[in-house]
Amino acid sequence: QVQLVESGGGLVQAGGSLRLSCAASGRPVSSTTMGWFRQAPGKEREFVAVMSWSGTRIYYADSVKGRFTISRDNAKNTVYLQMDSLKPEDTAVYYCAADRDTYYGGSSYYSLPPAYDYWGQGTQVTVSS
């Protein structure tokens, strides 16, 4: 059974930075396509970033491109989301997710929640203006 546990959320002023962590168990992140999503109150879950299982394909939502960076530490079996130049509109609960398949389905496929089989519980990020 794969378990994902997010951490690192909090309250930050606009322009600040946060780094979210997603600790995985039950499956190595080095062989798992991992994504980050977010959901603001009253809105649908929104794609943020994805890293392919090989680590060679990375894709970001236009809204975060140039400000957020997805990375992983295979030794710690953890995926990160470095968030810089935060804006109030980045306020949301952030979720990490994992795909149990061992092939990369493409950026469009992974921008949708049904592509993922496992989800974390989420971590709140609040950006004040």
Q: What's the pLDDT tens digit per position in 62-109? A: 999 999 999 999 999 999 999 999 999 999 999 999 999 877 788 899
- Would you state the pLDDT for residue 105? 81
DSSP assignment of the chain equals --EEEEE--EEEETT--EEEEEEEESS-GGGSEEEEEEE-TTS--EEEEEE-TTS--EEE-TTTTTTEEEEEETTTTEEEEEE-S--GGG-EEEEEEEE--SS---HHHHTSGGG-SEE---EEEEEE-
- Would you state the pLDDT for residue 109? 92
- Would you state the pLDDT for residue 1? 86
pLDDT band (50, 70, 90) for residue 29: very high
- Would you state the pLDDT for residue 101? 86
Q: What's the pLDDT tens digit per position in 44-55? A: 999 999 999 999
